[in-house]
Chain A
Amino acid sequence: MATERTVQAAGVIASCRFAVPDRSLPWLDPQPPWFAVASDAVCAGLPIVPADVPIVDLLSAPCTLAEVVAIRAGRFIPLFGDGPTRDEAVRALANIARALGAGADPRGSEHALSLAVHPAAGTAPVAEVARAVRKGSAATYCADIALAYAGVLGAGDAQRELLAGALSTVDGLREETALAAIVGGGDYSSYREHYALLTASEFAHAPAVRTAKAWFDFVLARRMGAFDTLAALGDDATLDPASRWLVTTAALLHGDEAARLHMAKFAEQSIVGLRTWLPRVPGVVAREMAEVVQHPLNLRFGHLRCAAARDHAAAAIRAWLTAATETEPEEQEIPGTALGPEPTRAGRSAIEARAAAGEFLLDWFVSDRDARETVDSFARRALRLYHRLRAATLLARAERELRPPGGMLTRVERVIWQPAVTR
Chain B
Amino acid sequence: MRQSITPMLGRPFESALAALEEARAGWNKGGPPGLLSRAAKNFDLAAAEGDARAPVGGAFARGLAGDLESAKQKLREHIARNPENAAGYVALGILGLRTPDPLACAEETTYALIAARDLAPGVACIERLLAIALSAAGVFMSALQSARAALALDDTDIEARLWSGVLRLYFGGDVTAAAMLVELPNEADVRPHCPARWLGAAAGHYARSEFHDARVALRRAIAPLKIGYSPEAPLVDAARRWFREARGFGAGVPMSSDRWLRDVGGPQSDYVRTRSALAALREAVARDVERAAADGVAPLDVDSVTAALEARTRRGMLEWGARLLVRGFAEAYLPLVTYLEPPSDEMLAAMDLVFLDD
Q: Taking beta carbons and an 8 Å cutoff, which residues of A are in contact with B?
A: 222-225, 254-255, 295-298, 300-301, 304-305, 307-317, 319-326, 328, 331, 334, 336-337, 339, 343-347, 349-350
Contacts and interface: CB of A to CB of B under 8 A. Distances in A.
B295 A339 contact: no
Contact of B273 (A224, A311, A317): A224
Nearest to B270: A224
Contacts of A324: 244-245, 247-249
A339 B237 contact: yes
Given A297-B297, A298-B295, A298-B296, A307 B270 contact: yes
Contacts of B250: 320, 323
B129 interface: no
Contacts of B292: 297
19 contacts: A224-B273, A225-B268, A296-B295, A301-B305, A304-B274, A308-B305, A308-B312, A310-B274, A312-B309, A315-B269, A325-B244, A334-B228, A337-B233, A343-B241, A344-B245, A346-B327, A346-B331, A349-B323, A350-B320
A315 B254 CA distance: 12
B254 A321 contact: no
Contact of A255 (B280, B305, B314, B325): B280
B274 A224 contact: yes
A312 B227 contact: no
Given A312-B269, A315-B264, A334-B228, A339 B240 contact: yes
B352 interface: no
B189 interface: no
A334 B317 contact: no
A308 B274 contact: yes
B324 A350 contact: yes
A297 B285 contact: yes
Nearest to B104: A345
Contacts of B263: 315-316, 319-320
A336 B308 contact: no
Interface residues of B, number: 64
A215 B192 CA distance: 62
A344 B238 contact: yes
Interface string B243-274: 01101111000100000001111001111011
Contact of A308 (B244, B278, B324): B278
B264 A316 contact: yes
A347 B296 contact: no
Interface in B300-322: 301-302, 305-306, 308-309, 312-317, 319-321
B287 to A, nearest CB: 11
B16 interface: no
A22 B274 CA distance: 61
B101 A345 contact: yes
B95 interface: no
A28 B30 CA distance: 80
Given A312-B313, A313-B317, A320-B250, A337 B244 contact: no
A346 B324 contact: yes
Nearest to B301: A301
Interface string B78-116: 000000000000000000000001010000000000000
List 6 A-B pairs, minimum CB-CB distance, nearest first.
Answer: A324-B248, A313-B316, A346-B327, A224-B273, A297-B295, A323-B248
Interface of B: 101, 103, 215, 227-228, 233, 236-238, 240-242, 244-245, 247-250, 254, 262-265, 268-271, 273-274, 277-278, 280-281, 284-285, 291-292, 294-297, 301-302, 305-306, 308-309, 312-317, 319-321, 323-325, 327-328, 330-332
Contact of B227 (A304, A334, A339): A334
Given A309-B312, A312-B313, A320-B324, 4 more contacts: A304-B278, A308-B274, A319-B265, A323-B250
Given A223-B270, A312-B270, A316-B263, A322 B248 contact: yes
Contact of B277 (A224, A315, A319, A337): A224
A312 B264 CA distance: 7
A308 B250 CA distance: 26
B216 to A, nearest CB: 12
B96 to A, nearest CB: 15
Contacts of B325: 346
Given A316-B263, A336-B228, A344-B242, A254 B324 contact: no
A320 B308 CA distance: 24
B235 to A, nearest CB: 13
B274 A346 contact: no
Contact of B306 (A223, A224, A308, A336): A308
Nearest to A316: B263
Given A295-B296, A304-B305, A222 B291 contact: no
Residue among A254, A317, A328 with the most chain B CB within 10 A?
A: A317
Contacts of B254: 316
Nearest to A307: B274
A328 B306 CA distance: 38
A343 B228 contact: no
Contact of A311 (B269, B281, B316): B316
A339 B228 contact: no
A237 B197 CA distance: 65
Nearest to B237: A339
Contacts of B301: 301
Contacts of B271: 312, 315
Nearest to B249: A320
Residue among A225, A298, A350 with the most chain B CB within 10 A?
A: A350
A337 B228 contact: yes
A171 to B, nearest CB: 39
A147 B328 CA distance: 54
B277 A255 contact: yes
A53 to B, nearest CB: 50
Contact of A297 (B274, B284, B308, B321): B284
Contacts of A305: 305
Contacts of A317: 320, 323-324
B305 A312 contact: no
Residue among A319, A324, A344, A350 with the most chain B CB within 10 A?
A: A344
Residue among A311, A316, A347, A349 with the most chain B CB within 10 A?
A: A316
Contacts of B309: 308, 312
Contacts of B240: 339
B228 A346 contact: no
A339 B236 CA distance: 10
A329 to B, nearest CB: 12
Residue among A255, A325, A347 with the most chain B CB within 10 A?
A: A347
Contacts of B249: 320, 323-324
Contacts of B265: 312, 315-316, 319
Contacts of B291: 297
A301 B236 CA distance: 51
B139 to A, nearest CB: 14
Nearest to A332: B215
A298 B297 contact: yes
